[in-house]
């Protein structure tokens, strides 16, 4: 298949509709009624349902699910292009039924849940009647499952869960918690006795599971299968997250360029100063390179699998945090004092970059994974000298030409002349 950097015209029409819909409908609703999607007020809920029906009419609801899991099955590349638009508007993913952490949890349910589990949890989650959180990382082990201690013990017709989870995003407002234990993935209703949500942090919750009892059918997938489920959840999710990050970078870049043409310093607009131009040029290059990396990775996933693309996915993960940090800082700096306030999105973007470098596994872990996987494709050189050691390559080249020199003394004389010329230059 040849390289093609264009978007299918029919799909581009959908993307154009999404951009217009988010700009004209979703964003205004967000500024008038913050967190409208989660509101229980019937009037606000009616507004949200009306917009979501338009999304469904376009066939864009629950876009993250593959066709075999009951979704539209767009694939990672088309999904990435769509998330590039949604990521510019904070409430857009929820308006499209495609916001984390629910997306990954729904994907696990769709792929590994029983029919009864899908009816009980997946259908209400798709209808946004039920909200979830992902309880994975732990205080002593971070995101390394080999260091987890939270464990479930079978007791009659129940599982008893004990342990602590750290940074369970939106756990306080979730209806159900997907708890990753050392011996399986469990669905735990938040109001189950023994689920102790600590007062801090407020948004990314520290949860203690103290003798938490759930029925046997709350085990999702096979016993001891938590790692497999987690990888299914995180692989594609990182691509969606990366494209939304690119949307944030583009938003910061737009603000940067607008400001560069709007303010003056030392007798000329700041966009004419070379240091400002450097920030704009560097930011442009970083965004373009990241976007190509993400889209190529999405294309590879569509043509192979997330498992075969682990190196690329890990590369995307640690690169997007760095690009967001650099671009948002450049934009903030060009914006000046206004950029340090909460009156523009820039301060939130810049403060989010360190979190992005830690969430879903710290960047250093992903860098180590990439390095190890890359090195598997190489072998140590023989002897003292590397493969590209020039004297050895020159000697091998002369040996290769020797039969032709033996047949053609004039060709040998020419070669000797070049050798003498190069020796003189050295």
User: Does residue 173 share a domain with residue 239?
Assistant: no
Q: What is the pLDDT of residues 161-210, one digit of tens each?
A: 999 999 999 999 999 999 999 999 999 999 999 999 999 999 999 999 99
Residue 52 clears pLDDT 80, i.e. is over it: yes
Q: Indicate whether 381 belongs to any domain.
A: no
Close Cβ partners of 41 (under 8 Å, ≥ 6 residues apart): none
The whole domain housing 207 covers 132-220
**What per-residue confidence (pLDDT) applies to 62?**
86
Domain closes at, from 185, 220, 255: 220
Q: Indicate whether 98 belongs to any domain.
A: yes
Q: What is the pLDDT of residues 358-369, one digit of tens each?
A: 887 889 999 999
- What is the Cα–Cα distance from 52 to 48, expressed in whole angstroms? 6
The H or E element that residue 55 is part of is helix 42-57
> Do strands 195-197 and 219-220 pair parallel, antiparallel, or not at all (unpaired)?
unpaired
User: Does residue 337 share a domain with residue 280?
Assistant: yes
**What per-residue confidence (pLDDT) applies to 369?**
94
Q: Indicate whether 382 belongs to any domain.
A: no
Q: Indicate whether 163 belongs to any domain.
A: yes
User: Does residue 62 share a domain with residue 145?
Assistant: no
Across the chain, mean pLDDT equals: 94
- What is the Cα–Cα distance from 161 to 182, expressed in whole angstroms? 10
Q: Indicate whether 193 belongs to any domain.
A: yes
Q: Among residues of the chain, what percentage have pLDDT more than 90?
A: 85
Q: Which of 109-113, 137-141, 253-257, 358-362 is predicted least confidently?
A: 358-362
Residue 404 clears pLDDT 90, i.e. is over it: yes
Q: Indicate whether 383 belongs to any domain.
A: no
User: Does residue 281 share a domain with residue 188?
Assistant: no
User: Does residue 189 share a domain with residue 250?
Assistant: no
108's tokens? 């696990």
Query: What are the CA-CA distances from residue 136 to residues 109, 152, 249, 254, 326 (Å)?
Result: 16, 14, 28, 36, 29
Q: Among residues of the chain, what percentage have pLDDT more than 70?
A: 99
Q: Give the number of domains in the chain.
A: 4
> Which residue, among 74, 77, 93, has the nearest Cα to 85 in the 3D structure?
93
Close Cβ partners of 295 (under 8 Å, ≥ 6 residues apart): 77, 80, 81
CATH of the domain at 146: 2.40.110.10
User: Does residue 367 share a domain with residue 239?
Assistant: yes
Give the mean model confidence (pLDDT) for residues 59-70.
83
Give the mean model confidence (pLDDT) for residues 31-43.
95
CATH of the domain at 322: 1.20.140.10
pTM for the model stands at 0.89
> Which residue, among 41, 204, 59, has the nearest Cα to 133 in the 3D structure?
204
Close Cβ partners of 257 (under 8 Å, ≥ 6 residues apart): 271, 280
Give the mean model confidence (pLDDT) for residues 374-392.
95
What do you get for the CA distance between the two ends of the chain, in Å?
47
Confidence at 2, pLDDT banded by 50, 70, 90: low
Q: What is the pLDDT of residues 221-251, one digit of tens each?
A: 999 999 999 887 766 677 888 999 999 999 9
User: Does residue 237 share a domain with residue 325?
Assistant: yes
Residue 70 clears pLDDT 80, i.e. is over it: no
């Amino acid at each position: 298949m040849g390289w093609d950097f264009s978007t299918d015209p029919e799909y581009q029409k959908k993307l154009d509709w999404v951009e217009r819909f988010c700009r004209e409908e979703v964003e205004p609703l967000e500024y008038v009624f913050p967190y409208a999607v989660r509101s229980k007020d019937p009037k606000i809920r009616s507004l949200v349902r009306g917009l979501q029906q338009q999304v469904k009419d376009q066939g864009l609801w629950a876009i993250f699910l593959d066709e075999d899991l009951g979704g539209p099955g767009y694939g990672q590349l088309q999904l990435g292009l769509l998330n590039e638009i949604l990521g510019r508007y904070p409430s857009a993913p929820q308006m499209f039924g495609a916001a984390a952490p629910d997306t990954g949890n729904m994907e696990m349910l769709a792929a590994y849940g029983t029919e009864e589990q899908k009816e009980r949890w997946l259908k209400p989650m798709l209808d946004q009647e039920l909200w979830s959180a992902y309880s994975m990382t732990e205080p002593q082990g971070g995101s390394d499952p080999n260091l987890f201690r939270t464990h479930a013990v079978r007791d009659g017709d129940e599982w008893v869960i004990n342990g602590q989870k750290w940074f369970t995003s939106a756990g306080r407002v979730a209806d159900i918690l997907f708890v990753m234990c050392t011996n399986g993935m469990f669905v735990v209703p938040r109001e189950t006795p023994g689920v102790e949500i600590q007062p801090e942090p407020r948004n990314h919750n520290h949860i203690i599971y103290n003798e938490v009892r759930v029925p046997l059918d709350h085990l999702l997938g096979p016993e001891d299968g938590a790692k497999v489920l987690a990888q299914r959840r995180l692989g594609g999710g990182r691509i969606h997250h990366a494209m939304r990050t690119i949307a944030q970078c583009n938003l910061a870049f737009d603000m940067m360029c607008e400001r560069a043409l709007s303010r003056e310093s030392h007798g000329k607009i700041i966009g004419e100063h070379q240091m400002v131009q450097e920030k704009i040029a560097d930011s442009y290059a970083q965004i373009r390179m990241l976007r190509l990396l993400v889209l190529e990775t999405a294309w590879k996933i569509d043509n192979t699998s997330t498992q075969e693309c682990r190196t690329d996915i890990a590369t995307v993960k640690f690169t997007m945090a760095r690009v967001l940090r650099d671009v948002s800082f450049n934009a903030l700096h060009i914006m000046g004092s206004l950029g340090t306030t909460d009156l523009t999105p820039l301060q939130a973007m810049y403060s989010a970059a360190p979190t992005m470098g830690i969430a879903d596994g710290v960047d250093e872990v992903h860098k180590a994974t990439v390095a190890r996987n890359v090195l598997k494709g190489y072998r140590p050189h023989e002897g003292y000298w590397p493969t590209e050691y020039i004297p050895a390559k020159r000697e091998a080249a002369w040996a290769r030409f020797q039969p032709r020199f033996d047949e053609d003394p004039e060709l040998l004389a020419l070669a000797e002349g070049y050798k003498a010329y190069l020796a003189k230059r050295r």
